[in-house]
Structure 1
Amino acid sequence: MAKELTIQDAFQNVMATRGDVPPKQQQVLAASLALFAEQGFANTTTKEIAARAGVAEGTVYRRYRTKDELLAAVLAPFVSEVFPDLIEDFATNIVKRDYITRHDLIAAVIQDRLHFIQENRDVLQVLLTEVLVRSDVREQLVPQVAPLVAKNLYPVLDRLKAHGELIDWPNDRIAQFMIGTMMSQLVRGILANEEVESAGPMMIAFIEKGLAPA
Structure 2
Amino acid sequence: MSEPIEEWLEELNKLGDEKSMTDKQLKIVRAASEIFAEKGFAASSTNEIAQRAGVAEGTIFRHYKTKKELLVSIVAPVMAKLVAPFVMREFYKVLDSKYESYDQMLRAIIENRLAFLEKHLHVLKIFIQEIPFHPELQEQFEKLILAKVFEKITPNIRRFQEEGSLVNWSPYTIMRLTASSLIGYAAVRTLYGKREGSSWDDEQEREATIAFIMKGLAP
Report the TM-score when normalising by structure 1: 0.77
Greater mean alpha carbon deviation, residues 47-56 or residues 128-137: 47-56
Indicate conservation of the 8 Å contact 1:114/1:182, yes or no.
Answer: no
- SS class of match (1:194): helix
- The aligned length equals 206
Distance 1:174 1:87 in 2: 23
Alpha-carbon contact 2:5-2:122 (below 8 Å) kept = no
Unaligned stretches of 5+ in structure 1? 1-5
Q: What is the distance in 2 between the residues matched to 1:177 and 1:8? A: 34
In the alignment, which residue of structure 1 is the partner of 2:13? Answer: 15
- What's the offset of the Cα at 1:34? 2.4
Partner of 1:61: 61
Deviating 4+ runs (over 6 angstroms):
none
Question: Distance in 1 between the 2:34 and 2:165 partners?
Answer: 42
Q: Measure how far apart 1:105 and its partner are.
A: 0.6
Q: Post-superposition shift, 1:13?
A: 0.8
Measured after TM superposition, the shift of residue 186 of structure 1 is 5.0
RMSD: 3.0
What does the per-residue CA deviation read over 1:71-103, in whole Å, with 9 as the maximum and x for residues that have no partner? 121122144333334553243332222211222
- Alpha-carbon separation, structure 2, partners of 1:65 and 1:186: 36
CA pair 82-17 structure 1, distance change in 2 beyond 3 A:
closer
Give the 5 Å matches for 1:1-214: 9-10=7-8, 12-18=10-16, 19-24=18-23, 25-50=25-50, 52-53=52-53, 55-86=55-86, 88-186=88-186, 188=188, 193-195=191-193, 198=202, 199-212=205-218, 214=219
Identity %: 27
Measure how far apart 1:11 and its partner are.
5.2
Partner of 1:3: none
Q: Which runs of 5+ in 2 are unaligned?
A: 195-200
Greater relative contact order (Cα < 8 A, sep 6+):
1
In the alignment, the residues of structure 2 paired with residue 186 and residue 32 of structure 1 have an alpha-carbon distance, to the nearest angstrom, of: 26
Indicate if the aligned counterparts of 1:111 and 1:200 stay in contact, CA closer than 8 A.
no
Q: Please tell me whether the aligned partners of residues 12 and 82 of structure 2 are also in contact (alpha carbons under 8 angstroms).
A: yes
Task: Return the alpha-carbon distance in structure 2 between the equivalents of residues 209 and 12 of structure 1.
Answer: 43
Q: Structure 1 residue 133: deviation in Å?
A: 1.4
| CA deviations over 1:25-78 (Å, ceiling 9, x no partner) | 234223311232134334544354345545454432311243222112112214
Distance across 1 between alignment mates of 2:216 and 2:45: 46
Cα contact 1:174–1:211 (8 A) shared by 2: yes
TM-score norm. by structure 2 comes to 0.75
C-alpha distance in 2, partners of 1:177/1:16?
Answer: 37
Structure 1 residues 95 and 8, CA, compared in 2 at 3 Å: closer, same or farther?
farther
CA distance in 1, matches of 2:150, 2:5: 22
Output the amino acid matched with 1:137: L
Q: Structure 1 residues 168, 9: closer, same or farther in 2, change over 3 A?
A: farther
